[in-house]
Amino acid sequence: METAADRHRARRPVWEKALDTEKCQEYLPKLHHHTDLMASCIDKAGAKGKKGVLINHWLKCFVFDMVGDVGYSKSYNCLNSGSLHQGILDLEKSLAKAVILWPLPWLVRIINSLPGMSNPMQAPIDFAASNLGEWKVFKRNKGPDILSCVFQGKSDLTYEEEVEDTMMLQIAASNTTLAALTFAMYYLSVNPEVQMALRKEIEANADVTNIASEAIQGLPLLAGVIDETLRMHPSVPSGLPRLTPPEGLQLGGTYIPGKTTVSCPTWTIQRDPKHFSDPNTWNPFRWINPPENHNTKAFFPFSLGPYGCVGKAFAYMEMKQALAKLVTSFDFKIAPGHDENRVIDESKDHTVYSCEPLWLKMETIARD
């Protein structure tokens, strides 16, 4: 009988190929299009909005337009319309419920068996099924897109497994990147000297009117801003659940029984002063000139090992491109009249971060 672990081992190489560095280059035209469009939309919103720009709304439009286009060549048209697809709104509501139930799969089975009750993830499942069906009819192998890689040729997956893969793509490639970009924009807003230094770094190495991905991938401060943000706010703060082996295991003198769900709290470990000096201070320069206490082995925002995130390379490429475009297009700060600490103090762990509203005053930088 095939287990979930067996299926993961069989499927992971396919996903790795769909998201490796070489394949990511094929997605660059789509990434450039959406980053340029996002900047244009924010420019218009900034000109109209008297109380500022709700930056995480536009970041959310950006990441979901990217998920649709790169994932399965679908346009959600969020940026152009300025509004979110209903399926995206349903996905967020379901994640808020699922955070309680995911560590307790037996409880999900009980809930599903009760009259009048339904799977809390049913709406995202239906959304994924709709996107998968549309892709099969209209978009298959017309990419480049991720599904054309993972479902190429004759699939040996069941329909339910194909829907599950599509749903996980929607979740893993959206809210995680959204949270990282939102927090990065917050920290750059309240640290104007870092924002200015980052802008100068990008301007010195890239044509800011048409930022080439290869020109910014190796920039140290840009990488430091992203890594420091992920250190302080890993997109999956409590860590992902894992199952101990049937025989159990010993950890630090403690025996953990077999087939027990465990997790490693990323947020806690990455803020432990044993691993990072002054751990609650956002300091992107620690990644350029590391202090004595800088244990990179304790930095794992994309998880580790055979279950680590296969989309890490693409996520970094997407975040770097988005931040580079925003930092060189706008000078920004917290919008007047808004609580600058709200996004830090009140954002919630819904398995992935669910960020509170972040209002920014975005001033377009004039370019000759």
pLDDT digits (tens, 9 = 90+) for 281-294: 999 999 999 988 99
Q: What is the CA radius of gyration of the chain?
A: 21
pLDDT digits (tens, 9 = 90+) for 304-340: 888 889 999 999 999 999 999 999 999 999 999 999 8
Structural domain of 135: 4-364
Averaged pLDDT for residues 108-126: 79
CATH number at residue 230: 1.10.630.10
Averaged pLDDT for residues 200-214: 96
pTM metric for this prediction: 0.93
Q: What is the pLDDT of residue 313?
A: 94
355 pLDDT band, cuts 50/70/90, is: very high
Q: What is the residue-wise DSSP string for 279-337?
A: TTS--GGGGTS--SSB-GGG--TT--GGGS-TTHHHHHHHHHHHHHHHHHHEEEEEPTT
Q: What is the pLDDT of residue 153?
A: 65
2 pLDDT band, cuts 50/70/90, is: low
As for how many domains the chain has, the answer is 1
Tell me: is residue 309 an annotated ligand-binding position.
yes
Q: With 60 as the cut, is the pLDDT of residue 1 above it? A: no
Q: What is the pLDDT of residue 306?
A: 85
Cα gap 259→240, rounded to integer Å: 15
